[in-house]
Structure 1
Amino acid sequence: MRSVYLPGNWTELWEYLARNPRALLYAGGTDLLLKVRTGKVDPVALICLERIEEMKGVTESADAIRLGACTTLAVLLDHPLLQKHFPVLIKALRELGSPLIRRMGTIGGNICNASPAGDTLPPLYILGAEVELKTGSTLRTLPVSGFIRGPGLTQLQPGEIMSAVVLKKQPDYNISHFEKVGLRKALACSVVSMAAVLTLSPDGIIGKTRLAWGSIGPTIVTSPDVEDLLTGKKLTPEVLQAAAGIIRQELSPLDDLRAEADYRRDVAGNLLLRLADYR
């Protein structure tokens, strides 16, 4: 019989982890419990974090917003601070799963799952998100881009958990875009996704730009070359076509059951062309 522990605070969590160092942790369990049920993983014990109130909620400081790792995706989607400061993340959350999944799934789980198809990851990359990693005696931070090492792989050390995500406020961007392509119109895992934030002047000149693509490599893909090409240019279909050509050349996507590499490469460029709608 597998033991399941339900700590109600930090002290209980560290006690359970000390006694069960090989236990797997979860909050909503939308990914892990499915893997357990299908036999893909067989943990000796489970520790559920959903009762630790210190890991929930959204708090604001002068220059940043802190998201508790166990805050559900539904709470984030409805939160006015995120709607005000991070509309690109809101757009991604709207595309993530079903209302039921969003009520159960958490931001920490979506990141720690480290799936290249994770819908929150492209926005978090371009927003420069950092994750707080905590043990009973230490606290460190890493950029989310350095935290994820590959599919299902993170920088979490034994006895360490992700306690929060920190997002610096982004006052400059006036365009936010997220789009994903899947095999269905809804409730689909991404074949390719793209997140973009940029500043656009009244006369259509592109300023600061950040772009990221999901589901086309082992981790989220960014392209400084594409960002450099766009910066200072007028937002036109011709400029976007040139940028799309660069990202198609840079990508080396893999074939899998959901899509072939060539299709992913074409779609990644085509998603960039959608920015023409903001002219």
Structure 2
Amino acid sequence: MADVHVPSSLDEVFRLLSDEPSATLFAGGTDVMVRSSPDMRERGPFLCLERVEELRGIHGSATEVRIGAATTLSEVIASPVIADLFPLLREALRHVGAPAVRNMGTLGGNICTASPAGDSLPPLYILGAEVELRSLKGRRRMPIDAFITGPGRTQLEEGEVLCAVVIGKEQGFNFHHFEKVGQRKAMAISVASLAFGAETRRDGTIVKARCAFGSVAPTVFTSRLLNDTFAGNTLNTAVLDRAVAIIREGVSPISDIRASMEYRRQVAGNLVMRLEGAGKDR
């Protein structure tokens, strides 16, 4: 069996990574242990981050909120700060797995897994989230859409740790919506998902909008043309028809055991059409 190290500080993490640069990092383990083959478990070692206090908790400044990468999904959901400032993220995380998975899984893990179906990713793209990375070389920040480069691929370098997710407080959205479609109503990996945030006037006219889709492209799918289609309009059928045409033309889904490429493309458009009903239910 492989060695498992459980450091209690970032200094200890970096010391261990200096000795074992190929170590597999994890926190909750809800993804890495499922993906670990017997051969991988023999190679090891594993580095568990769940006891590193610098990587946990939710802290705010005057302009932004910092969420530690090892903060569990349940802790993020339960945070009054997240509920108040980023209800879209909270709603998306409520769709992740079962309570046991949310109690163990972490926000940083959901990001580093870099699955196109990751439920946290579409809202984080909409919110303009940045990731904070640290190593013995120093610290750097980058937008999440630059950090994730493909399915299971990120810009994380050897010896580097994702320490936090940082989100600006001033978003301006007063309408948000998250919806996913899976093979069942709960505890399902998404076939397609939609996160939508908009600033609207009292008459329903959209000032600005951001739209992001999961499971329909190698990474989260966003489109400036799609966002611009909503600006200056209400969520009416004509506008949504134009948006559907853009999304079905732009996405590049795959066929797998959960759904065909054609079905995912159809569902992505259907999720957009459902925004009209979501707007009326506000």
The interval holding the TM-score normalised by the smaller chain is over 0.9
Match of 1:173 in 2: 173
Structure 1: distance between partners of 2:125 and 2:171? 17
1:29 aligns with 2:29: yes
Superposed displacement of residue 40, structure 1: 7.2
Residue 111 (str. 1) matches residue 111 (str. 2):
yes
CA distance in 2, matches of 1:124, 1:14: 27
2:118 pairs with 1:122: no
Give distance in 2, aligned partners of 1:40 and 1:85: 44
Instruction: Output aligned runs, 1:28-67, within 5 Å.
Output: 28-36=28-36, 38-39=37-38, 41-42=40-41, 43-67=43-67
SS at match of 1:67: strand
C-alpha distance after superposition, 1:32-67 (max 9, x if no partner)? 11222x437444200101111110000001111000
CA distance in 2, matches of 1:233, 1:96: 32
| Residue identity (%) | 47
1:1-279 residue pairs with structure 2 within 5 A? Answer: 1-36=1-36, 38-39=37-38, 41-42=40-41, 43-277=43-277, 278-279=279-280
Decide whether the 8 Å contact of 2:217 with 2:254 is kept in 1.
yes
Structure 2 unpaired stretches of 5+: none
Deviations 1:89-121 (A, max 9, x none): 011011011100000000000000000000000
How far is 1:246 from its partner? 1.4
The residue identity in structure 2 corresponding to 1:39 is P
Contact 2:116-2:216 within 8 A present in 1 as well: yes
Using the TM superposition, give the Cα deviation of residue 257 of structure 1 relative to its aligned residue in structure 2, in angstroms: 1.4
> Per-residue CA shift, 1:134-193, capped at 9, x if unaligned?
002400001000000111100011100100000001341110110000011110000000
Distance in 2, Cα, partners of 1:134 & 1:123: 24
SS state at 1:77 partner: helix
In the alignment of these two chains, the number of paired residues is 278
Q: Is the 8 A contact 2:218 2:252 kept in 1?
A: no
Give the secondary structure class of the aligned counterpart of 2:110: helix
Q: Runs of 4 or more off by more than 6 Å in structure 1?
A: none
1:108 and 1:9 map into 2 onto residues whose CA distance is 17
Are the aligned partners of 2:127 and 2:171 in contact in 1 as well (CA < 8 Å)?
Answer: no
Paired letter, 2:57:
G
Q: Distance in 2 between matches of 1:249 and 1:100?
A: 38
Whole-Å separation in 2 of the counterparts to 1:34 and 1:267: 28
Q: Residue 121 of structure 1 contacts residue 220 of structure 1 at CA under 8 Å; is this kept in 2?
A: yes
Give deviations 1:56-89, integer Å, cap 9, x for gaps.
0000011110000000000000000000000110
For residues 188 and 256 of structure 1, the distance between their equivalents in structure 2, rounded to whole angstroms, comes to: 14
The 8 Å contact of residues 35 and 41 in structure 1, kept in 2 or not, is answered as: no
1-structure distance, mates of 2:203, 2:216 = 33
Letter in 2 for 1:69: A
TM-score by length of 1: 0.97
CA contact (8 A) 2:244 2:273 kept: yes
CA–CA distance in 1 between the matches of 2:44 and 2:102? 27
2:116 and 2:215 in contact (8 A); partners too: yes
Gaps of 5+ in 1: none
